[in-house]
């Protein structure tokens, strides 16, 4: 075999390692979760609705492809993206799929209620209204994701605790809930619950990453105590 041909074959074989790592829907979901923040295997397993053992196997495939790194802290193993380019690549893949695969639009239309959307949205105006106390920006992601990065003025109430902390939201408040971006179901579920309790709520399709891509600042740090 000519040397040039052999070299090309070796190169494309290495490129294909990424294709193999990304060939699983669950591994793509894990990358999406890790775009939000570093997480333990147990956290990823719970949020991706998998067993810890199965989650670990998927993470090992991603690690072999050098898409994620890990560290140990006591008895826990934490995973994070290898670098920010991995999240950029994942989002580029998602945009390509959105543009090429019509089934995505149908899936979204079947699940997401258009009435929960804020249309259209002026991001800077939303911040001004939140600063003035005219609207509550509600982050319904887990607390670790909020601490890693959240919208300015956002209040953290994870979806799993929304029922018990409902009294923290004024019945007169206008609420804009967000989570991990346009395909995240947490905000959709939060809006449905809030509306069932008589509150005025709408869903923001943006997540932190979309906010950053728009050139807007994101805050970090845990939620302040009441």
Q: What's the token pair of residue 152?
A: 């300015």
CA distance 139 to 17: 36
Question: Same domain for 120 and 77?
Answer: no
pLDDT at 108: 82
Nearest-Å Rg of the Cα atoms of the chain is 20
pLDDT at 211: 92
Helix (H, G, I), strand (E, B) or coil at 175: strand
Q: Which of 35, 87, 179, 184 is catalytic?
A: 179
- Give the rounded percent of residues in the chain with a pLDDT score beyond 70: 95
Question: Same domain for 77 and 118?
Answer: no
pLDDT at 105: 85
CATH code at position 199? 3.40.250.10
Question: Same domain for 164 and 132?
Answer: yes
Question: Same domain for 110 and 209?
Answer: yes
Mean pLDDT of 184-189: 93
Is the residue at 50 inside a domain? yes
Question: Same domain for 78 and 137?
Answer: no
Question: Same domain for 174 and 83?
Answer: no
Q: What's the token pair of residue 107?
A: 């899936």
Cα distances (angstroms) measured from residue 38 to each of 27, 31, 107, 216: 15, 11, 29, 22
Question: Same domain for 129 and 47?
Answer: no
Cβ atoms of residues 82 and 67 within 8 Å = yes
pLDDT at 226: 55
CA distance 196 to 1: 68
> 90-143 pLDDT, tens per residue?
999 999 999 999 998 888 887 876 666 555 678 989 999 999 999 999 999 999
pLDDT at 110: 79
Question: Same domain for 163 and 74?
Answer: no
pLDDT at 225: 62
Domain boundary among 57, 89, 121: 89
Residues 6 or more apart whose CB falls under 8 angstroms from that of 212 comprise 149, 218
Mean pLDDT of 144-155: 96
* Active site (annotated) includes residue 184: no
Domain count of the fold of the chain = 2
Domain that holds residue 55: 3-89
Mean pLDDT of 163-192: 94
Helix (H) or strand (E) holding 182: none
34-38, 52-56, 104-108, 192-196, range with the lowest pLDDT:
104-108
């Amino acid at each position: 075999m000519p040397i040039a041909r052999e070299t090309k074959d070796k190169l494309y074989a290495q490129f294909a390692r990424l294709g193999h790592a990304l060939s699983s829907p669950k591994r793509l979901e894990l990358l999406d979760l890790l775009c939000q923040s570093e997480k333990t295997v147990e956290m990823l397993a719970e949020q991706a609705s998998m067993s810890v053992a199965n989650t670990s196997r998927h993470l090992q495939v991603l690690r072999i492809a050098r898409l994620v790194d890990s560290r140990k802290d006591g008895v826990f193993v934490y995973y994070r993206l290898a670098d920010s380019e991995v999240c950029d690549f994942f989002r580029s893949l998602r945009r390509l799929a959105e543009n090429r695969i019509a089934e995505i639009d149908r899936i979204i239309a079947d699940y997401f209620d258009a009435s929960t959307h804020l249309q259209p949205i002026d991001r800077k105006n939303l911040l001004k209204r939140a600063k003035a106390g005219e609207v509550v920006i509600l982050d319904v992601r887990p607390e670790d994701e909020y601490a890693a990065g959240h919208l300015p003025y956002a209040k953290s109430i994870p979806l799993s605790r929304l029922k018990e902390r409902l009294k923290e939201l004024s019945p007169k408040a206008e609420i804009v809930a967000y989570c991990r971006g346009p395909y995240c179901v947490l905000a959709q579920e939060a809006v449905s619950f809030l509306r069932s309790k008589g509150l005025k709520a709408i869903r923001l399709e943006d997540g932190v990453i979309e906010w950053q891509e728009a050139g807007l600042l994101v805050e970090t740090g845990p939620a302040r105590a009441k």
